[in-house]
Amino acid sequence: MAVQVEHQPSSAEGQLETETLELHLLLEGIYRQYGFDFREYAPVSLKRRVWRRVQAERAGTIAGLLALVLHDAEVMERLLLDLSINVTSMFRDPTFYAAFREQVVPALRTYPFTRIWVAGCSTGEEVYSLSILLQEEGIYDRTRIYATDINETVLGRAREGVFPLEKMQEYTENYIRAGGKRSFSEYYLAKYEGALFDRALTDNVVWAPHNLVQDRSFNTFNVILCRNVLIYFDRALQTRVHQLFYDSLERLGILALGHKESIRFTGLESAYQELNMQEKLYRKVQ
């Protein structure tokens, strides 16, 4: 009688299965120990960021990193910086800000007071860009910007308003292309290796921690900007966050997404009017 031998995965397949299990255990451990939930982030980008931290900590494996994370909060802090999405710049995608000036600002002028939520604000470049734009358009004084991020370390950097001096040429070019109306250098003071931005730009900004994965709506808004964050979430999590934004937007409020993001397949397409397809600006109509 022949004995059927169960197929054993090749070493490459076995290694992949082990790595996937280790990643699952790491994310579960982070959630239980620290309360940060990355379990529904897109796995490809997540794995790449985790391995960067494995190598930096010389942990050898993802399981080795888990052991360090569970017993050392400083390792967790460094990993959180890797897992948070902190790729940003001032007036990033200048055509977006030009479209915002032209198509969103006129509506904001009609409001006695405007609330704007910048979700996933990272180190604050987008917030300062928005403040400059609103100041130039004469509506900053009657606007409150809520700038939130999962990572309190990057929020601390954002509050300081100091950015690398070497970035100012790039930011100036972006500002000009975005329709800037003044000399960009008027907004900051060059000091040592940094550019300290005018404190008046944050007079009407509330910096606060907020986790898009776990936290609920905390106010209603006329505008929500969440650009280049949702691309790191899986489809189910994207849908949940879109529901959060829908619940947080006033009727006729504006939702701004990144160029690679969309409201398609969220079940909420009919609730929005496409204000600018290229720049991903949507108006809530239902």
pLDDT tens digits for range 32-90: 998 888 888 888 888 999 999 999 999 999 999 999 999 998 999 889 888 876 668 99
pLDDT for residue 10 = 55
pLDDT at 97 over 60: yes
Burial 107-116, CB ≥16 within 10 A → b, else e: bbeeeeebbb
Domain boundary among 83, 103, 123: 83
Task: Count how many domains the chain has.
Answer: 2
Average pLDDT over residues 9-29: 84
pLDDT at 240 over 60: yes
Q: Are residues 103 and 41 in the same domain?
A: no
Q: Are residues 106 and 247 in the same domain?
A: yes
pLDDT for residue 3 = 47
Q: In angstroms, rounded to a whole number, what is the distance separating the alpha carbons of residues 167 and 146?
A: 25
Q: What angle do CA 199, 115, 103 make, to 5 degrees?
A: 95
Bridge partner residues of 204 (DSSP): none
pLDDT, the chain, mean: 92
Report yes or no on 187 lying in a domain. Answer: no
Q: Are residues 75 and 100 in the same domain?
A: no
Residue type, 126: E
pTM over cut 0.85? no
pLDDT for residue 5 = 44
Kindly state the tokens that stand for 283. Answer: 């108006």
pLDDT at 2 over 60: no
Average pLDDT over residues 175-180: 97
pLDDT for residue 223 = 98
Report yes or no on 186 lying in a domain. Answer: no
Q: Which domain holds residue 54?
A: 11-83
Q: Are residues 27 and 105 in the same domain?
A: no
Q: Are residues 246 and 132 in the same domain?
A: yes
CB 182 within 8 A of CB 201: no
Residue type, 39: R
Average pLDDT over residues 144-170: 95
Q: Are residues 148 and 273 in the same domain?
A: yes
pLDDT at 92 over 70: yes
Report yes or no on 2 lying in a domain. Answer: no
Q: Are residues 54 and 149 in the same domain?
A: no
Average pLDDT over residues 181-202: 95
Q: Are residues 16 and 98 in the same domain?
A: no
Burial 12-46, CB ≥16 within 10 A → b, else e: eeeeeeebeebbeebbebbeeeeebbbebbeeeeb
Report yes or no on 242 lying in a domain. Answer: yes
Grade residue 146 by pLDDT with cuts at 50, 70 and 90: very high
Q: Higher pLDDT residue, 1 or 107?
A: 107
Long-range pairs of 197-200 with CB within 8 A, sequence gap ≥ 24: 197/128, 197/161, 197/162, 197/163, 199/161, 200/135
Domain boundary among 22, 48, 83: 83
Q: Are residues 15 and 120 in the same domain?
A: no
Q: Are residues 142 and 261 in the same domain?
A: yes
Grade residue 221 by pLDDT with cuts at 50, 70 and 90: very high
Report yes or no on 58 lying in a domain. Answer: yes
- Name, in order, each residue with C-beta under 8 angstroms of 31's C-beta and a sequence gap of 6 or more: 37, 38, 39
Q: Are residues 246 and 126 in the same domain?
A: yes
pLDDT for residue 275 = 96
pLDDT at 269 over 80: yes
- Helices marked H in the chain — which ranges? 11-34, 43-57, 62-71, 73-83, 94-99, 105-109, 125-136, 152-160, 168-177, 235-248
Q: Are residues 113 and 225 in the same domain?
A: yes
Over the stretch 109-142, which tens digit does the pLDDT of each residue have?
999 999 999 999 999 999 999 999 999 999 999 9
Domain boundary among 59, 83, 107: 83
pLDDT at 200 over 60: yes
Average pLDDT over residues 227-231: 91
pLDDT for residue 191 = 85
